[in-house]
Amino acid sequence: MSEQADVVVLGLGPGGEYVAGTLAEAGLDVVGIEAELVGGECPYWGCVPSKLMIRAGILLAEAGGVPFLAGHVEVPPDGSRVAGRIRGEATDEWNDQVAADRLAAKGGRLVRGTGRLTGPRQVTVGGRTFQARQGVVLASGTQPRIPPAPGLASTPPYWTNRDAMAARELPASMIVLGGGAIGVELAQVFAQTGVRGR
Ligand SMILES: Cc1cc2nc3c(=O)[nH]c(=O)nc-3n(C[C@H](O)[C@H](O)[C@H](O)COP(=O)(O)OP(=O)(O)OC[C@H]3O[C@@H](n4cnc5c(N)ncnc54)[C@H](O)[C@@H]3O)c2cc1C
């Protein structure tokens, strides 16, 4: 027996959370389905923690300029400060309760689990099936693409953005694959915090 809703939103990253919340506030019966954390990549492994890292990196870079311009200062990078802020201030230790409550406050219904389209306007998650009267919104986001470079999948282990955001200790050196905005951002941050390029 399927459960009814006006709209089912599959994936509650920034895109899906916005759609689900807006439709719920407008009075529709919305079911939002999320496999991991409500809020998706941005608040937990993307935009928000990376900006904490960038802020710290800029401060270190600025301090590095003092001997040339203003006097003498030594600032040994301490990655644990940023790691602590990412855990304590940005991600609540990767806990999405605030975001889940935000959706509930707008009237949306949260269902946790991995959803699958199983028919026209029909989504199944766990043992439950939802039939949407108006539509299903697919907002399942993206994942890092691991390029087929020989040896990459085995040794040495690689990081994705998730490992980078959760790191407590930094490696001595690294190679950043990918020169888009995110790759450049991460390369800059790690270089500023003392990780050597190779
Ligand atoms: C390091 C980094 C820095 C970034 N900085 C910025 C920035 O400064 N500014 C900016 O605008 N963007 C930034 N981004 C990009 C931003 O994070 C993404 O554009 C955004 O998260 C995409 O949102 P989304 O809702 O499309 O997908 P996602 O955030 O990927 O969310 C999709 C959600 O769907 C869920 N899901 C997937 N499949 C299923 C399923 N079958 N069932 C249930 N749930 C499912 C996932 O668990 C996930 O929570 C950054 C990204 C990274 C990695």
Please name the residue ranges forming H helices in 41-134.
Answer: 41-45, 47-64, 66-69, 79-85, 97-105
Dihedral (CA of 157, 50, 181, 140) sign: positive
pLDDT band at 114; cut points 50, 70, 90: very high
C-alpha 41 to ligand 1 mean position (Å)? 4
C-alpha 135 to ligand 1 mean position (Å)? 22
The span from the CA of 170 to the CA of 79, in Å, is 7
Place of tokens 């990412």: 86
Cβ neighbors of 37 (< 8 A, separation 6 or more) are 43, 44, 94, 95, 96, 99
Q: Is the Cβ atom of 39 under 6 angstroms away from ligand 1?
A: no
pLDDT tens per residue across span 78-96: 889 999 999 999 999 999 9
Count other C-beta atoms under 10 Å from residue 177's C-beta: 14
pLDDT given for residue 183 in this prediction: 94
pLDDT given for residue 78 in this prediction: 87
Single out the residue of 143, 107, 108, 137 nearest to residue 123, CA to CA: 137
Pocket mutation for ligand 1, best pick of 41, 138, 165 (most atoms within 8 Å of C-beta): 41
C-alpha 77 to ligand 1 mean position (Å)? 29
**Mean pLDDT (whole number) for 134-139:** 98
**Mean pLDDT (whole number) for 1-18:** 97
pLDDT tens per residue across span 56-80: 999 999 999 999 999 999 988 888 9
Residue 91 in contact with residue 44, Cβ under 8 Å?
Answer: yes
Higher model confidence: residue 156 or residue 143?
143
pLDDT band at 156; cut points 50, 70, 90: low
pLDDT given for residue 148 in this prediction: 84
The span from the CA of 1 to the CA of 80, in Å, is 51
Ligand 1 atom at minimal distance to the Cα of residue 142: 30
The span from the CA of 59 to the CA of 193, in Å, is 10
C-alpha 143 to ligand 1 mean position (Å)? 8
DSSP, res 2: P
The span from the CA of 95 to the CA of 80, in Å, is 20
Residue 140 in contact with residue 151, Cβ under 8 Å?
Answer: no
The span from the CA of 64 to the CA of 120, in Å, is 59
Q: Is the Cβ atom of 178 under 6 angstroms away from ligand 1?
A: no
Strands 173-174 and 122-125: unpaired
- As a whole-number percent, the residues of the chain with pLDDT over 90 amount to 82
The span from the CA of 88 to the CA of 109, in Å, is 27
C-alpha 40 to ligand 1 mean position (Å)? 5
pLDDT tens per residue across span 14-33: 999 999 999 999 999 999 99
